[in-house]
Structure 1
Amino acid sequence: MYLIDRHTQLGGLPAYSFPLLHEELPSSLPAAGSVAWRISVEGYYDVELGEWARTFARFSQAVDLTQVRALLVGIWPEAFVIDTDGPNTEAVDTLFAAADRLPALRSLFLGDMNREDCEISWIAHGDVTPLLRAFPQLEEFGVRGAESLQFTPTSHASLRRLVIETGGLPREVVRGVAASDFPALRELEIWFGSPTYGADTEVSDLEPILTGTRLPALRRLALRNSEIQDEIAAAVASAPVVAQLTALDLSLGTLSDEGASSLLEGRPLTHLSKLDLHHHFLSVSMAERLRRALAPHGVDVDLSGREDDKTYGYRYTAVAE
């Protein structure tokens, strides 16, 4: 099983955890623009609503917000609880309200939790796109978790990297991303997950992405962690967007010889610098065919993490719960 870790860096800056509310502030803190600040509460049990917002208020008093370049949102109260009022969105709401005080923010990640903090399938969000509107200069945006996640079609002229990590992604989120306008986007990474945890995307939902017309600057496409990885591979193999890519990532899913054969028979991949297929179910002979076809052209083919469907009697994604 693939392990999900907290970030060690974001936006090229090392991660630094701002002290929890009950902890004393150190005598000195890193310069505001020198680290990616992780703002979090201690855990989601026995934590009062509003504690993340109070932690951020303390952070804003201790650090010059105008110089902050990267933020990691860790645990917030009731990060996984869905009640009649929906998920607790205090972190998103707090950042939205503080947008004018964070003019230098370029990288933002929501849900920076590992398995000990919260299972990825439990992490609950609402609509995250107001943050894209609030931060028009944002260049990198990421979300972990998909419970109640919404992504309204939007436009953003500056965004260069978008990452959505889930163990079960609703197709409406994929459709929202596909219908958005991101003219500067160079990297798009989507983790689909398992239907057991809500994944219901169909290949047809990816068509606006695979044509490439809405993403003219795209150079790395990662469609990962899917139980329909063979179908995705077949669609990608004939997709116009492939010609503009330098890196293609179909890792963490249930890719088999069928999907790999589609890649070999489709549009040329010899122009890629990297093809990432790690965590796969390819036969040894098919893996060797891929290497022989691409490695001589300088393509870095990652075929590590070969899985065997005989182990459990079925193929599985690397990340689900």
Structure 2
Amino acid sequence: MSMLNKKEELCRYVGSQARDEQRAALPGVIDRIIHTLDDPECFAHIGNEPIHFSTSVRDMIEKLRNILFPGYFSNEKMDSVNQTYHMGREITRLYDILSRQIIHVLRHDCLRFDRVCSKCERRGNEAAFTVIEQIPILRKKLAADVRAAYDGDPAAKSHDEIIFSYPGLYAITVHRIAKILHQLDIPQLPRIMSELAHSLTGIDIHPGATIGERFVIDHGTGVVIGETSVIGENVRIYQNVTIGALSLPRGAGEKLRWTKRHPTIEDDVIIYSGATVLGGDTVIGARSVVGGNVWLTRSIPVDTKIFIEEPRLIIKKTNKGDGL
């Protein structure tokens, strides 16, 4: 046997020995981990309805997009011959998936928090039907969002490009669905939907936010829109914009949980990249423009432009090969 083979055999033997020793020590570690399940300072989900998996929520969102934008995301050709069959099948499947998901989260909270029966089966079926009943209205709202994005973006070559590829439209689509569930007081599911959109797009819109028609998020990465934000119609915001709450003192969470903590943005406002607008009493008046990197914690009136003073630039001519 060559020296190389001997070295390889020795390596495998030593590695196997170390693995066996560590595996033998695992029961003790397992006992210590299990012991922490009774620690009230930690969190565990034992003996309750299982928490749903994000993959099923993602599938549900894709089903909704298939119906909101028929023919765009389907693997099958859709035409005048099969559209009634195709839409009927997709909507029926969506109803089954959505109602099961809603029933699941309702039952989960009922059992976990030992609540009075919430009639989860009936409520889940009714909520799913309400969402599907709203699809014609949602389609019109999303069509207005698409047109607004196209009208204001010379880089967009078609409406199809926006529907297929713009992260802002994806985030708005998910938000408009999640908002309906939030208004129906469905727990957990709206927030899970919004966080899935957040993970895919970098755009964080709380399902409680109220957003008018023809809303555009251009580029989108880093956008945050808080729960009690109210945004009017024909509003456009750019990347890294925060519409958020002022910092809260320790222990204020429960006291302020149901109060308006986020700004109101009136119709026809533009907010450029990096701007931060904070506070529940802050109102950005209609047709105003908030410049890039502006920090606002107070209201501005209608028809106002607010910008940061241009910084003083140092322009220095360098010789070839010099550094900064």
Q: Tell me which structure has the larger Cα radius of gyration.
A: 2
- TM-score normalised by the shorter chain: which range applies? under 0.3
More strand by share: 1
Which one has more relative contact order, counting CA pairs under 8 Å at least 6 apart? Answer: 1
TM-score scaled by structure 1? Answer: 0.27
Higher helix share: 2
